[in-house]
Amino acid sequence: MALLEAENVSFSYDKKNMAVKNVSLSVDEGEYVAIIGHNGSGKSTLARLFNALLIPDSGKITVDGFCSSDKNALFEIRRRVGVVFQNPDNQLVASIVEDDVAFGPENLGVKREEIGERIEYALKAVGMEKFRKSSPTRLSGGQKQRIAIAGVLALKPGILVLDESTAMLDPQGRKEILEVVRKLNAEDRVTVIAITHYMEEVLHADKVFVVNDGGIAMQGTPAEIFRRAKEIKQMGLELPLAAYIAEKLRQRGVPVPEGIMTEEELAEALCVLLPKI
């Protein structure tokens, strides 16, 4: 059975315009799933539906057997689905890093000794154990966002939802977060749902859902999705830059193979194709 499942889910903020329309999708344990879509496509609404911050108007969301429309299940769902949002400055609550990470488990009533262990685990998982006693205000954006992730990990959530969590970071900060998330997925078997419009962040996903106009417009592996360049463009998205340039080169008669998605792959393909003079 899927760990998280949405069945025909619809949601509207104002009872007029549908933000999410009849969405069905499933995420298995240990998967790395990416959800992409342009601004206003409904992807952030989905994130909020996943951890029961919003409840579907119709259809249902089930997490590990708990349905979000059941009021008694909210607590269980939120323990299992941790969301990291976009702005690191809006997510930290305490003046010392370890207090911030402890905030969630304290609210869950976790025992004192265990909280200590969880802080240690969570800070180590994001590579911030040296900053345990630091003040979050003195950290960089990428470091703050890693603390926000640690705060979620301390709840041992099982599913980590990243709602454009790298959008406000510089390239260095973005790399830090991606490395941490990939490691959590690979080593600690944390299920990841990454919501983004950076195409480069989609490449490592097992499965991609493209959201357009509140509904799921495409799904598949990154390679399957990016083969459909025209549709991607119609939905206000773009190919990863390397794939975009590869396509332009093909149009100009340079037979670059299909399926190139990274700058390394593009460089290697051109090394083979071009004459050495």
Q: Is residue 88 classed as helix, strand or coil in its secondary structure? A: helix
Site mask for other proteins (CB under 8 A), range 188-227, x = bound? ---------x-x----------------------------
One character per residue 159-178, x = contact with other proteins (rule: CB under 8 A):
--------xx-xxxx-----
Q: Which of 235, 259, 236 is nearest to 246 (CA)?
A: 259
Q: Do β-strands 58-63 and 4-12 pair in parallel, antiparallel, or remain unpaired?
A: antiparallel
Residue 64 DSSP label: T
Closest CB 230 distance from other proteins, rounded Å? 14
Name the token pair of 248.
């332009």
Q: Are 142 and 173 in contact (CB under 8 A)?
A: yes
Query: How large is the angle between the packed helices 97-108 and 141-153, nearest 10 degrees?
Result: 20
Rg from Cα positions in the chain:
20
Q: Amino acid letter at 21?
A: K
Pair of tokens at residue 177: 């977060």
Which residue among 236, 257, 258, 259 contacts other proteins (CB under 8 A)? Answer: 236
Nearest to other proteins of 108, 267 (CB atom): 267
- Contact pattern for other proteins over residues 25 through 54, marking x by CB under 8 A: -------------xxx--------------
Span of 65-73, 203-211, 217-225, 260-268 interacting with other proteins by CB under 8 A: 260-268
For other proteins, the closer of residues 108 and 254 by Cβ is 254
Q: Using the rule CB under 8 A, is 253 a contact of other proteins?
A: yes
Complex with other proteins: residue 118 or 174, whichever CB lies closer: 174
Helix (H, G, I), strand (E, B) or coil at 4: strand
CB 225 within 8 A of CB 194: no
Report the interface residues with other proteins, using CB under 8 A: 38-40, 86, 140-141, 167-168, 170-173, 197, 199, 236-238, 241-242, 245, 248-249, 252-254, 263, 266-267, 270-271, 273-277
